[in-house]
Amino acid sequence: MMATMAALLRRELALAMRDASALGTVLGFDLIVVSLLPLGLGPDTALLARIAPGALWIALLLSALLSLNRVFEADHRDGSLAVLMTAPMPLEVVVLVKMAAHGLTAALPLVLVAPLLGLLLNLPPSANGTLIGAMLAGAPAISAIGAVGAALTLATRKGGVLISLLVLPLYVPTLVFGVAASDATGPAPGSTVQALLFLGAISLASVVVAPFAAAAALRVHGGAGGA
């Protein structure tokens, strides 16, 4: 089972590297969202530094939405998903591997560029460690919840819009606790640690539940390739 999972993960990573333009689009959108804020809010550096964690988290979540439609769509279109559904490996495990691949090829790059984008918002360098730690803790939830949305909207018209409507409300707890965990200057000394623990719990619950929910949605679609 582990060898099969590793082979499937290598396949997903190879496909993602082959389609490098998708990652470029996601990172470019992230840059655009963050760079527009100083233009709209003005040169108040204190204000920008205060809103930086929230702005970076919002940009992360919105950018991650752009990559969700490719979690299952390509395999559904060429019939590979139907083959995976009939393989000996449980479909829930296939979904888990695809979640991991999305986290490595979409969520992780967005997390790594966050400190660089923080320079545009006057984020203090001392806050980068807290920000990256919080985003890494929340990244599994982003990929897991997104996989459920991608499975539910598979082979539907205007799937990108539907994914946004389904996934964004589910991202709210991750956003709330993620921003709280990223704020190293919170009013209470233990508030950041508590928020980080809640964020980790959300990610853990999402990773456990999402494969079963997404697999159930994929079985409804039947894995048939689209025209």
Q: Does residue 122 sit within a domain?
A: yes
Q: Does residue 226 sit within a domain?
A: no
Q: Does residue 227 sit within a domain?
A: no
Domain that holds residue 20: 2-221
Q: What sections of the chain are H helices per DSSP? A: 2-18, 20-41, 45-66, 73-78, 80-85, 91-102, 108-118, 128-152, 159-182, 191-221
CB distance 192 to 184 below 8 Å: yes
Q: Does residue 106 sit within a domain?
A: yes
Q: Does residue 103 sit within a domain?
A: yes
Q: Does residue 156 sit within a domain?
A: yes
CB distance 215 to 84 below 8 Å: no
Q: Does residue 78 sit within a domain?
A: yes
For residue 187, pLDDT over 80 is answered with no
Cα–Cα dist 57/131, whole Å? 9
Q: How confident is the model at residue 141 (pLDDT cuts 50, 70, 90)?
A: very high
Question: In sequence order, what DSSP letters do the residues of 103-156 get, joined into one string?
Answer: IIIIIHHHHHHHHHHHGGGT--GGGHHHHHHHHHHHHHHHHHHHHHHHHHTTT-
Cα–Cα dist 37/43, whole Å? 10
Give me the mean pLDDT over the 166-180 stretch.
93
Give me the mean pLDDT over the 132-150 stretch.
94
Give me the mean pLDDT over the 144-169 stretch.
84
pLDDT over 70 percentage in the chain: 93
The pTM score is 0.88
Domain count, the chain: 1
**b/e sequence 57-74, b meaning 16+ C-beta within 10 Å:** bbbbbbbbbbbbbbbbbe
